[in-house]
Amino acid sequence: MNKVYKAFCHVKTRGAMPQNCSEYFKMKEIIKLDDVCKRYNMGEEVINAACDINLTINKGDFIAITGPSGSGKSTMMNLVGALDLASEGEIYLDNIDIERLEESELAQIRGKKIGFIFQTFNLIPTLNALDNVSLPMLFQGVEREERDERARDLLEKVGLGHRLTHLPNELSGGERQRVAIARALANDPEIILADEPTGNLDSKTGVEILELFKKLNKEGKTIIMVTHDKELAKKAKRIVKIKDGKIER
């Protein structure tokens, strides 16, 4: 490695140079928040829900965003997931400034790039497991035969190939969360954003869901997990702690 290349790598990685510096150049920024603040007007009062947020998430990361109730985790989730726009600063999704997009354009990019998993599962109660998983593909214009085939494959992947025709109320909490994970994978997104994914599950099922996330991460998915559970957060590769709307350094 020549001296210029080595020095450049040292600066770019803030001194934390990997054994093989070329590893740095393989890293791909997938989400970036630059000096982001999010404010809400509550009558005459202005609430700074998040401020001075600088965060870069690379492809293949497994990040836990953690903090106590009211710390700003939900606001961070909405910003990182491009569900909300910043009051100040810039948010980039795959190097695209989302502020410059029309809502319809942003919805299309979000639908392809990010799979969302929620604590309360958010499954449609009148649709069976197969149709719940198929739904995001319908919004992307995928033909029925392809939708059904992929939905079956995804449910097999999360261990629910035998529950295709069951409604959500016929499934356990862990099974419903597995359906939600399969649904999040429907459009083969690069990013999985999970909001308190084990919050409504018993500890054993929570461990199983976390192992599924680890497997997805090894397959190349970028996992962003929002949780108040410190022990769960330790299972991620990187922890981002939020307090009073700011990232703790």
Report whether 200 contacts 122 (CB < 8 A): no
Burial class (CB in 10 A: 0-12, 13-18, 19+), 245: buried
What is the number of structural domains in the chain? 1
Alpha helices, H only, the chain: 3-12, 22-26, 73-80, 103-113, 129-139, 144-157, 173-184, 203-218, 230-233
- Asked, for residue 53, whether it belongs to a domain, the answer is no
In a domain, 149, yes or no: yes
Q: Which two tokens stand for residue 201?
A: 């599950």
Q: Is residue 40 part of a domain?
A: no
Rounded to the nearest angstrom, the gap between the alpha carbon of residue 137 and the centroid of all alpha carbons in its chain is 18
Domain-located, residue 14: no
What is the average per-residue pLDDT within 66-89?
91
- Say yes or no to pLDDT of 2 above 80: no
- Split at pLDDT 50, 70, 90, the class of 249 is confident
Q: Is residue 118 part of a domain?
A: yes
Using one digit for the tens of pLDDT, what is the confidence trace for 135-171?
999 988 999 999 999 999 999 999 999 999 999 999 9
Determine, yes or no, domain membership for 137: yes
52-77 pLDDT tens trace: 999 999 999 999 999 988 888 989 99
pTM for this structure? 0.84
Q: Which domain holds residue 186?
A: 59-84+98-247
Give dist(CA 186, CA 191) in Å, integer: 12
Higher pLDDT, 44 or 17: 44
Residues 191-211, mean pLDDT to the nearest whole number: 91
48: in domain: no
Residue 184 and residue 118 in contact, taking contact as beta carbons nearer than 8 Å: no
DSSP summary character for residue 13: T
* CATH at residue 228: 3.40.50.300
Contacts of 185 (CB under 8 A, 6+ apart): 115, 154, 157, 192, 216
